[in-house]
Chain A
């Protein structure tokens, strides 16, 4: 069970105009602007749910994921994940969750993937038999096989993403946060990733929260959609709620963004 209650988060951003004079001026007087990444965000997600978290770039999706995974501390509001406050008991919290950031890599660049996995095994203190079981299962479902023996730097993006996802699930977390897991993947890899996430949810009852710009992801995976724009929750419902008639999903979502005036 995940609850976010009236959560706010803001960042301060230094701003200046272009040009040498402006740069000199900002050396002495820095203008900062407060950007409200999240304003009064509240939602509840039950165990075993699959939730698609959508919104335009800069809407606050990643900030939400980072708060839920204990990396960022919100300015105000309460966050509870299975009874834990993520940013207060970070270490206990992250033991129980898996996170994939589609734009970053958690694998050690120069060593074979399997070495990264072994390290994660020690970090999460996974018992040997459990580790063997999850590794076997993940290898089979994500078709890792030979990939495990190659250094991460020599894998294609699709291959690497499959390894990244496996790495985040070795410790069998009950909750999985996926921040743009299909970004930049080709059609086959996308399908493989989607199918895997679905199976994981069905077989293990893993709660999945995923952010994406790929509406086919949402169509394939999420029974529930939360729409965020300019830091506020705008809609919380199902795909059917936003779809009027049989229109193309991308058009539907673009229309939705426009209707809320959140398109950047």
Chain B
């Protein structure tokens, strides 16, 4: 266990080094968040009753999404892993007494967490001071907040697990580009990254909520503002747990297969 923690630590510290990148990220997320909220505000003005959430709840959803972007963004993948598979640097990693899957999982989790830690606080603090309904509201209750934290962690781990599938599949496809583009654009849409999931028409939404992508960010963000009732909350967290276990197990199995038939590229 300790060796995986060391990977986590080294990666985390490495991630904290990039301060300028973090500043740029914060600025981007601010602009993006504002833009989205402006658009939604315009929609709400024409008919607030047509929407499943209040504008305040939507604003909270968007700000939390922007603050924790690094935890959930599917496109933030570790290029070093891809290049180690493509160039054959993987040879060294296979010479270590470690499980490749677990190591990559730790590395990914660490770099995402490092990015999120650097970026979330300025966004959250600024959003708290924005006037209602454009800022971030307090959580619906203390329990909601606690559940939100649990769902946040589960969603974060599910995201890493899903990304792991792409890394592992690169063993088979040689180039990660195709899969990566398909995966990232698909995930953005299905996880509520483009439009929050509650805004989809009911039959579509019900189906989408069952997919593993809804377990990434949507569950936590909806729990925060209390738009889910108790039964729905329990179901959402249970689904998260289910997907986390299923996707991780699948990824590990695939990884074992991949390592058996690995070809080290480039001599």
Q: Does A18 contact B (CB under 8 A)?
A: no
| Known interface pairs A105-B92, A106-B92; 18 further A-B residue pairs with C-beta atoms within 8 A, sorted by A's residue number | A11-B263, A66-B264, A70-B95, A71-B262, A91-B97, A91-B99, A94-B95, A97-B95, A101-B92, A106-B95, A110-B14, A111-B10, A115-B10, A118-B6, A119-B6, A122-B6, A123-B96, A124-B97
CA distance A104 to B8 in the complex (A): 23
Is A73 a contact partner of B10 (Cβ separation < 8 A)?
no
Is A69 a contact partner of B10 (Cβ separation < 8 A)?
no
CA distance A97 to B98 in the complex (A): 14
Contact of A123 among B3, B14, B259 (CB under 8 A): B3
Task: Count B interface residues, CB 8 Å.
Answer: 25
The answer to whether A90 and B94 touch (CB under 8 A), given A11-B263, A104-B88, A111-B10, is yes
Task: Across the interface, name the chain A residue whose C-beta is closest to B93.
Answer: A106
The answer to whether A70 and B94 touch (CB under 8 A), given A62-B267, A104-B88, is yes
Task: Across the interface, name the chain B residue whose C-beta is closest to A124.
Answer: B97
Is B97 a contact partner of A119 (Cβ separation < 8 A)?
no
Q: Does A125 contact B (CB under 8 A)?
A: yes
Is B2 a contact partner of A122 (Cβ separation < 8 A)?
yes
Q: List 15 A-B contacts (CB under 8 A).
A: A71-B95, A72-B263, A72-B264, A91-B97, A94-B95, A101-B92, A104-B89, A105-B89, A105-B92, A106-B92, A108-B14, A110-B17, A118-B6, A124-B97, A125-B2
- Which residues of B lie under 8 Å from residue A91 when comparing CB positions? 97-99
Contact of B94 among A11, A71, A105 (CB under 8 A): A71
- Which residues of B lie under 8 Å from residue A71 when comparing CB positions? 91, 94-95, 262, 264
Is A66 a contact partner of B3 (Cβ separation < 8 A)?
no
Is A94 a contact partner of B91 (Cβ separation < 8 A)?
no
Which residues of A, 225-239, contact B by the 8 Å Cβ criterion?
Answer: none
Q: Does B260 contact A (CB under 8 A)?
A: yes
Q: Does A195 contact B (CB under 8 A)?
A: no
CA distance A103 to B88 in the complex (A): 10
Q: Does A7 contact B (CB under 8 A)?
A: no
Expressed in whole angstroms, the minimum distance between the Cβ of B89 and any Cβ of chain A is: 6
Task: Across the interface, name the chain A residue whose C-beta is closest to B261.
Answer: A73
Expressed in whole angstroms, the minimum distance between the Cβ of B105 and any Cβ of chain A is: 15
The answer to whether A73 and B267 touch (CB under 8 A), given A99-B95, A123-B96, is no
- Which residues of B lie under 8 Å from residue A101 when comparing CB positions? 91-92
- Which residues of A lie under 8 Å from residue B267 when comparing CB positions? 58, 62, 103
- Which residues of B lie under 8 Å from residue A125 when comparing CB positions? 2-3
CA distance A207 to B95 in the complex (A): 17
CA distance A204 to B264 in the complex (A): 31
Q: Does A95 contact B (CB under 8 A)?
A: yes
Expressed in whole angstroms, the minimum distance between the Cβ of B140 and any Cβ of chain A is: 42
Q: Does B183 contact A (CB under 8 A)?
A: no
Q: Does B145 contact A (CB under 8 A)?
A: no
Which residues of A, 64-84, contact B by the 8 Å Cβ criterion?
Answer: 66, 69-73
Expressed in whole angstroms, the minimum distance between the Cβ of A95 and any Cβ of chain B is: 4
Most B CB within 10 A of own CB, among A62, A69, A91, A122: A122
CA distance A94 to B92 in the complex (A): 10
Is B264 a contact partner of A94 (Cβ separation < 8 A)?
no
